Structure 1
Amino acid sequence: MEDGSPQCKEHAVGILLHICQSCRDKYRGLILMEGVMPGLLQLSVDGTWGAKNMARDLLFLLRDCTDYASTSKQSRHELMEQIMQAIDADGEKVDGTTLRLVQEMINKLNI
């Protein structure tokens, strides 16, 4: 998801979203193990309109909770905290670029 044209990135996130929607319990961990969080954060800020929406939907599905249907009840601030915790839990080093992308996403969401 980090390489390729904007259309390729949109297709990649669409495929991952479809896979996760088909069986979240089975594929959530596998998707997270591939280290998709930085790419999803980048797409949710800088991607095409479709990629932004799909990346945000996939971020919701990848959250560590059993009832992901109640996302509207959760504040955006709590969601951003969970995303950052997921990045930290994966052992990925959060560099300045990732932090900048998260900050831009927060600013665009008006949190």
Structure 2
Amino acid sequence: MLLSFRGWCSFIQYKPAKLVKYGLKLYDMCNSRMYYVHNSEIYCGKQREDPYFTWDTLFNIIKRLVQPILGSHRNVTTDNYYTVYPLAHFLLENGVTFLCTMKKKSPQTFWI
């Protein structure tokens, strides 16, 4: 999600193809039934190695977002951007089902 923002910030994103061209990039976990944001994380760009360093791979971002619902036997639905096998394996091991879309020729596509 790109949240519209035109002020000064060191991690503003520019996406020329979007309706809102400048803004803050957010990763959100939303409830599909009630339409509210359950958990959110702001993308701050490439980080330097310091005590607060976190890995910003898709697997690690989703791991942090779904932390509150692990073991609850809920379902996580994603598009093909987030479809990676280690994520599906991690979620199934922790009691969360995983539903995703896949591109036929994507290198990340996996078959179980």
- TM-score tier by shorter-chain length is 0.3 to 0.5
Specify which structure has the higher proportion of helix. Answer: 1
Specify which structure has the higher proportion of strand. Answer: 2
Question: Which structure ranks higher in relative contact order (CA pairs < 8 Å, sequence separation ≥ 6)?
Answer: 1
Structure possessing the higher radius of gyration over alpha carbons? 2
